[in-house]
Amino acid sequence: MTSVEPSQSARPAGGEELEDLELRLLLEGVFRRYGFDFREYAPASLRRRVWRRVHAERLGTISGLTEKLLHDEATMERLLLDLSVNVTAMFRDPTFYVAFRQKVVPVLRTHPFTRIWVAGCSTGEEVYSLAILLQEEGVYERARIYATDINESVLDRARGGVFPLEKMREYTQNYIRAGGTRAFSEYYVAAYDGAQFQRSLIENVVFAQHNLVSDRSFNEFHVIVCRNVMIYFEKKLQDHVHGLFYESLPTFGILALGHKESIRFSPFEDRYEELDNGEKLYRKVV
């Protein structure tokens, strides 16, 4: 695919500085008009995605997009889809699930009931993966998964539980590498070009919209899984979200981050111990 980020020559006449200003004004407009706060997201990826939307709307400038979306909610919805990177996969980074089985499940067994928050769950592949793992370990019945995302349309797809059939080969391999103990095909039926996953997998799942930037904590959780979400945030926003998670975990609660993320260098670094550093599993200790 070709990149749609403007080359230096396609940049507005005022160059980078003007582009920066236009981007800031757009983000401010989005926040004030629609309440979605992308002002502290990492700018490089944001800029690329905004330009993609500018071109898709057949506009010439970021300001043009600002004007359009302020007056047209449908444009905002399309931009929202562009801005929230929804890439995900079942049993993504399989070694994470191996560590989860070995180090988190034994802790879950000690609780009569477990609340798990999957923040930034996208289209749900991660949630179905966790549900499968918990079922296989015999702890799903006494667990409730709260799966949230900023984006209502990805949550709708998650609720549907239909994933592309052509992905099943890759997901089966991930599942096996993740320590899966059955035939992966037991969990879905093929329907046209989709794989419909068993409804029983989401029996104990609550899908809800939640914005990590502006919404508060809504419960206390034994485990919080937030993988590949904060990577798109600037440091200040990452710290804010770490505060939210810290507040939402009891002592000995577990935080799971993505492979490229870390609790290190956050103000909460000393409040956690490593449960598995390679797999970014941490336990709150104070």
Ligand X SMILES: C[S@@+](CC[C@H](N)C(=O)[O-])C[C@H]1O[C@@H](n2cnc3c(N)ncnc32)[C@H](O)[C@@H]1O
Query: Which residues contact ligand X (rule: CB under 6 A)?
Result: 84-88, 92, 120-122, 126, 149-151, 154, 211-213, 227-229, 258
Closer to ligand X at the Cβ: 63 or 104?
104
The greatest distance separating any two alpha carbons of the chain, rounded to the nearest whole angstrom, comes to: 63
> At closest approach, how far in Å is the CB of 60 from ligand X?
28
> At closest approach, how far in Å is the CB of 149 from ligand X?
5
> At closest approach, how far in Å is the CB of 11 from ligand X?
27
> At closest approach, how far in Å is the CB of 88 from ligand X?
3
Q: What is the C-alpha separation between 148 and 79, in angstroms, rounded? A: 19
Closer to ligand X at the Cβ: 11 or 34?
34
Q: Which two tokens stand for residue 238?
A: 């990452």
> At closest approach, how far in Å is the CB of 174 from ligand X?
11
Which neighbouring-strand residues pair with 41?
233
Q: 237-260: b or e for each residue (b if 16 or more CB lie within 10 Å)?
A: bbbbbbebbbebbeeebbbbbbee
Q: What is the C-alpha separation between 90 and 17, in angstroms, rounded? A: 41
Q: Which two tokens stand for residue 86?
A: 């929804």
CB within 8 Å of 163: residues ≥ 6 apart:
90, 123, 125, 128, 171, 188, 194, 195, 197
Closer to ligand X at the Cβ: 154 or 254?
154
Instruction: Pick left, alpha or beta for residue 120 (phi over 0 → left; psi -120 to 50 → alpha; otherwise beta).
Output: left
Closer to ligand X at the Cβ: 109 or 235?
235
Instruction: Please check whether residue 144 is in contact with residue 204, taking contact to mean a CB–CB distance below 8 angstroms.
Output: yes
Which of 13, 5, 17, 81 is closest to 47 using CA atoms?
A: 5
> At closest approach, how far in Å is the CB of 44 from ligand X?
15
Closer to ligand X at the Cβ: 114 or 151?
151
Closer to ligand X at the Cβ: 195 or 225?
225
> At closest approach, how far in Å is the CB of 189 from ligand X?
23
Closer to ligand X at the Cβ: 63 or 101?
101
Three-class SS of residue 93? coil
Q: Which two tokens stand for residue 83?
A: 């801005």
